[in-house]
Amino acid sequence: MKEDTRKRTADDSAAPEVTKKSKMDTSEAPHSSSIHKAFKALQDEIKRLEAEYEKGEEDRREPSQELKESREDYKTLNRDHESLSDQYDDLERKYDYLEDKYEALDEKYKALKNVEASHKTEIKQLKNKLEKKDYENQFLSVDKMKLISDMLEKNEEWVGKFKRLELEARVAFTEWNKDRKELGEHEIDKEAFGDIMCEYEHL
């Protein structure tokens, strides 16, 4: 469009007389100006849209503050979950260890109960025999008296061991209930403990 205008200007300088064509050129000038304005407005709109598009691209590349906080919260929760999972595994291992220890003590407890019952039976039998003997037979030899004394001492020793194991069993039972409580399980009362002992006795 500008080239046509320059050509017309050159033609006008060559021919100074006013022709119908020069009048047409003059009438086309406002139309050319409006086209130029419309073209410039279109360019401005294109630039504005490009700027908005670039800004949108930056917003999409950079996560929002809310998204960043959500990611941090997720990381924190994930770390807490892993920590709690490790603690749970440690408690479970401790629980298994105490349960094994309790079962071992329970076996010793039953064995000592059997030994104690056997010793009590033997002592009772000896006492009955002594009571049935007449006065002359009450003067037992030194060896027999020593045997009875040794048996009594041995029985006291076993009773002491039994009491010690009974104390250890109570401690293990208490610790077991503590661990069950930490694991979210209900505690076992003495009645339930007695039922468990009965089950072991019938194995």
The pLDDT > 70 percentage for the chain reads 72
Cα dihedral 31, 34, 35, 36, rounded to 10, equals 120
Domains of the chain, residue spans: 2-8+20-61, 91-201
* pLDDT band for position 59 (cuts 50, 70, 90): low
What is the per-residue pLDDT across 160-190, written as a single tens digit (0 to 9) for each? 888 888 888 788 788 878 887 888 877 777 7
Within a 13 Å sphere around the CA of 29, how many CA atoms are in the beta-carbon half?
Answer: 9
Kindly report the three-state secondary structure assignment for every residue of the chain.
CHHHHHHHHHHHHHCCCCCHHHHHHHHHHHHHHHHHHHHHHHHHHHHHHHHHHHHHHHHHHCCCHHHHHHHHHHHHHHHHHHHHHHHHHHHHHHHHHHHHHHHHHHHHHHHHHHHHHHHHHHHHHHHHHHHHCCCHHHCCCHHHHHHHHHHHHHHHHHHHHHHHHHHHHHHHHHHHHHHHHHCCCCCCCHHHHHHHHHHHHCC
Whether 15 has a pLDDT exceeding 70, the answer reads no
Confidence bin at 85 (pLDDT 50/70/90) = confident
pLDDT confidence of residue 55: 77
Model confidence at 4: pLDDT above 60: no
* Long-range Cβ pairs for the range 111-120 (8 Å, 24+): 112/158, 112/161, 112/162, 112/165, 113/162, 115/158, 116/155, 116/158, 116/159, 116/162, 119/151, 119/154, 119/155, 119/158, 120/155
Q: What is the pLDDT of residues 134-164, one digit of tens each?
A: 655 555 566 677 777 888 888 888 888 888 8
Average pLDDT, the chain: 75
